[in-house]
Amino acid sequence: MAKKETKPAKASIEKKPKKAKDGDYGAGQITVLEGLDPVRKRPGMYIGSTGPQGLHHLIWEVMDNSFDEAMAGHGKEITLRLLPDNMVSVEDNGRGIPVDPHPQHKVSALELVLTKLHAGGKFGGGGYKVSGGLHGVGVSVVNALSTYLKAEVRRDGKLWEQEYAIGVPQGKVKSVGSAKGTGTKITFQPDASIFETVEFNFKTILDHLRQQAYLTKGIKLVMSDERDPQNTSIYAFYFEGGVASYVRHINHGKEAKHKNVFYVHKLDEPTDVEVEIAVQYSMEYHESVHCFANNITNPEGGMHLSGFRSALTRELNNYARAKNILKEKDQNLTGDDVREGLTAIISVKIKEPQFEGQTKAKLGNPEARTAVESVFGESFRIYLEEHPQDGEAIISKCLLAAQARSAARAARETVLRKGALEGLTLPGKLADCSSKDPSISELFLVEGDSAGGSAKQGRSRETQAILPLRGKILNVERARLDKMLANNEIKSLVIALGTNIGEGFKMESLRYDKIVIMTDADVDGAHIRTLLLTLFYRYFPDLVHQGHVYIAQPPLYRVNIGKKFRYAYTEEEKHVMIEELLADTGKGKKETTTAKKNEEEEDAEDENNGIEEGVEGESETEQMEVSGVKVNIQRYKGLGEMNPDQLWETTMNPKTRIMKQVTVEDAERADEVFDVLMGAEVAPRKRFIQTHAKTVKNLDV
């Protein structure tokens, strides 16, 4: 689809006050942002970030309007198209946005919705009973952050349209012909000057659409990727089973503890909240619970999650006591016991949702807790009575978890007691930092004693602590807490962090603001990194969600010409560094040889080329002859090959290092990947490797 030419925007982004004298502070120093200007000035306040997550949030905001129509009973199909030039089109067959003049503002309602924040049919109660787009800023924010937007409305037998550039109308709403049916189509192109990238990720959008199809049963969702005209992909989703189908999808490939999926879909009349919940237990050790309010995902849960957990624990304890499985009065299953291996989807539809911020991470409505606790508690009680085999299977799973929890508590107390007997001493191999301020302290988890030695010598002793890890830690995806704490490496890590683990976890006791995983750039290093990420994701999720976990990025190459050298972190960067260093010597035909050098040869070359001495181990060196100029490229396969000062300069110095922060944008997808890669089932892992083998870059075996 070709992009139409647009007129330049008529309005400036910000009205600048008159220049004032130094020290003056009056009305002239107050800046007023009008219309959609605040969105362009502070986009993060409205879409979370200007990275890939914020870019895709534009699509979610437009689609929320279409889903609101579907939830209101208008329209049964939504189509999303990815078009050339990073353009996106979202079309539904709902009622169509009104185009008649607004009685108060005297402009078309369509223009009002697209140009005014907090304008829409979601506030007065007459437009929608429930909606995801609570704030009414969604589509107007998309308009403000797009270089081009076109709205097309089929309504009253006519096709209406209006175009925008950076939120500014390029003409009035006009009828361009006749049309059958009703509906709205929004086509937009994100502003490349606002976002870090404007390239949409097909997989991210596809997963989101699949999720929404599960949450809105009976609605057909179609997605097509038309960015490459020669290779168009089309997917369609339609599920009658609702969130019960969603649970089966999540548990696909897992061993279910009971055959039937518990499902309830009911309106709680006292609170007027619609509740839809599905539950199934598997033989896994971890819970997988996903919460939604008006089809909007709530990664931090909220009141509906609290109500669900309370009812689940209460009903399972009552059932176990009624069946004489729990005999002692003080014997009860805890929340952790009943959630082990649990897969659940909690979806509520509520009139006036109270979210935390525009990104809607947490639901705050107290009535949601009451509704979920009432509807789920009553229905789950009946389910357990009507399905005694399922009930017994669930209780047996919970009792096994309780026994493991007792063993884990004993193991955890042993670890902590050992520390107490030693005067609260930290692990012997931990080289701690001198600072006691967690906000400036960093813990580096280093692979092996050799790299640990270099890191200890090269670090900043005031703020950086080093914990060498010997070998590969236990795969915690397949082990309970009591077995974990028998592993010396994990035990040392738990004591070093200071937060405790499991039931005793306390975020406020964290001793380091940054936990940095620093491993070699080879297969073993990647495996150790994956094992550590599994540990943090499963047993220290708050550290991941609050941004405390990082991955160090040591360089792959060191490029030398004489005494000049540069570090390269990728294959592409290596070539750039070579060209930069050769800029003063001219370019010629490259003659390349690769050789494994012993320590004597390397020491001799060090003297001639200015490479620091003391590099440990065997390293691969590539020699290039360009117009008589000798270029040496050292390939670092391990951190132990680097001198302490090199390791500091490239990987540990806060001023020059590159680190990746570990985040979880899609908890369900992350959970699925960890289960496939680290779980007990071999077949799914084999399929994953076969599927992705050809896309692997820089595989080092």
Quick one: which of 663, 470, 646, 652 has its CA closest to 552?
A: 652
* 221 phi/psi in degrees, rounded to 5: -115, 130
When pLDDT is cut at 50, 70 and 90, the band that residue 297 belongs to is: confident
Q: List, in sequence order, every residue forming a beta bridge with 348; answer none if it has no partner.
A: 275, 293
Whether 243-394 and 37-237 are alike in CATH topology: the answer is no
The secondary structure of the chain in percent helix, strand, coil, rounded to multiples of 5, reads 40, 20, 40
85 belongs to an annotated ligand binding site: no
Distances in Å between the Cα of 619 and the Cα atoms of 558, 598, 632 are 11, 8, 12
Strand bridging mode 183-190 / 87-92: antiparallel
447 is in an annotated binding site: yes
Confidence of residue 125 (pLDDT cuts 50, 70, 90): very low
**Mean pLDDT of all residues belonging to the chain:** 81
Q: How far apart are CA 210 and CA 232, in angstroms?
A: 19
Please give the torsion angle defined by the CA atoms of residues 248, 300, 60 and 96, in that order, rounded to the nearest 10 degrees. 90
Least confident of 29-38, 256-265, 351-360, 451-460: 29-38
Tens-place pLDDT, residues 184-221: 999 999 999 999 999 999 999 998 899 899 998 889 99
Fold designation for 37-237 = Heat Shock Protein 90 (3.30.565)
Mean pLDDT along residues 404-424: 62
**What is the pTM assigned to this prediction?**
0.64
pLDDT bracket for residue 584 (50, 70, 90): low
Task: Choose between 570 and 430: higher pLDDT.
Answer: 430
SS3 label, residue 434: coil
Q: Find out if CATH 3.40.50.670 is the number for domain 426-553+661-695.
A: yes
Q: Tell me: pLDDT of 4 over 80.
A: no
Q: 161 forms bridges with which residues in the sheet?
A: 152, 174
Helix axes 243-250, 202-215, angle to 10 degrees: 130
Domain residue limits, the chain: 37-237, 243-394, 426-553+661-695, 557-635
H or E segment to which residue 175 belongs: strand 174-178
What are the tens digits of pLDDT across the range 330-367? 689 999 899 999 999 999 999 888 887 655 778 989 99
pLDDT band at 45 (very low <50, low <70, confident <90, very high): confident
Q: What angle do CA 649, 652, 656 make, to 5 degrees?
A: 55
d(CA 662, CA 676): 19
pLDDT of 509 above 80: yes
Instruction: Give the sheet arrangement for strand 629-635, strand by strand.
Output: 564-568, 557-561, 629-635, 620-626, 591-596
700 belongs to an annotated ligand binding site: no
Neighbouring C-beta atoms of residue 614, cutoff 10 Å: 13
Which are the catalytic amino acids? Answer: 447, 520, 522, 524
Residues paired with 290 in a beta bridge? 345
The fold of the 243-394 domain, in CATH, is Ribosomal Protein S5; domain 2 (3.30.230)
Instruction: Identify the pLDDT of residue 59.
Output: 93
